[in-house]
Amino acid sequence: MTGFEAVYSKLSRPLSFRVSDKVEGTDAKTFPDHSAGSDPDAPSAGRGGPEGQFRYRAIWVSDIHLGTRGCKAEYLIDFMRQTESDYLYLVGDIIDGWRLKKSWYWNQAQNDVIQKILRKARKGTKVVYVPGNHDEALRDYTSMHFGGVAVEREAIHRTADGRQLLVLHGDDFDGVVTYARWLAFLGDWAYNAALTANHWFNLARRALGLPYWSLSAYLKHKVKNAVEFVSRFEEAVAAEARRRGVDGVVCGHIHHAEMRNIDGVLYCNDGDWVESCTALVEHMDGRLEIVRFATIGHLGAVSASVTAAS
């Protein structure tokens, strides 16, 4: 059994994982600029916009929660198929080890996400995995490479315009997770209940021809205590970045995409793929932007229709 397989066994990994990549130590300083072409092996080939339609210098995604019914794996596959980048940061809670240890759930789309990430690493993308609290077992394997994926407790990303960004999941700043683990599990149960309600709610909306809308995110943002917690979390993470002497910070954890300046520090949260389906991207000139799947999907459809008409 390879080290990569051992890690996922610890997280109750599905037997359908196909991990044939050798453990390798790569030089992270230089990566080739590969052209985005057609990928006949793509799990979602034929859907959405053209393969590699959107080219970025770096992409950050987090809180995918593979292994749960709330995971929007099919949306993420479409997003990953339409985008290419030199760097891909997986900012924690990619696999929900907490949930998998309680009950088993895994589908083909979630397996395809893993394979797509490994495929991007093989094609030259520098993939960095910063584990979160739900996939914390991987923190035992930091500073190691598996299948071209570097596992790090945290990372520093330098943008094209010279800014230094601290990359971490963010659970260290959540007092509930750090100091009262049983309360965190209770909150996880309640949150999964909200996601289940969200799933059926959107099935009804789809039957009525209405677009996807996150009921759980709406309810969370309407609760005063939740809003106050998000604000305190953002300030605490920004303060840590200021203490480290970096220009900004990229995190996940709270499922709330945001990008704003906090006392001279750029705070970025890439959101999640169970509610808002968002990512943080860096353009080739160093500009940062929060991208929403709905926007990418719409642009892809528009581009495809324009191409077909021309």
Which among 116, 68, 114, 59 is positioned nearest to 91, based on CA atoms?
A: 59
Distances in Å between the Cα of 20 and the Cα atoms of 8, 109, 140, 235 are: 13, 19, 21, 42
Q: Which residue range is the domain that position 113 belongs to? A: 3-16+47-309
Give tens-digit pLDDT for 32-44.
Answer: 222 223 333 322 3
Q: Alpha-carbon distance 117 to 150, whole Å? A: 12
Give tens-digit pLDDT for 65-74.
Answer: 999 988 999 9
Q: Is residue 127 within 8 Å of 90, Cβ to Cβ?
A: yes
145, part of any domain? yes
35, part of any domain? no
Estimate the crossing angle of helix 108-122 against helix 73-82, to 10 degrees. 20
Q: Which residue has the tokens 């407790």?
A: 153
pLDDT at 3 over 70: no
pLDDT at 33: 26
Q: Which CATH number characterizes residue 63's domain?
A: 3.60.21.10
Q: Transcribe 105-118 into DSSP letters.
A: ---HHHHHHHHHHH
With b meaning 16 or more CB within 10 Å and e meaning fewer, what string describes 155-183? bebebeeeeebbbbbbbbbbeebeeeeee
188, part of any domain? yes
Give tens-digit pLDDT for 203-213.
Answer: 777 778 776 66
pLDDT at 208: 81
pLDDT at 49 over 60: no
Q: What total number of domains does the chain contain?
A: 1
The reported pTM is: 0.70
3-state SS assignment for residue 183: helix
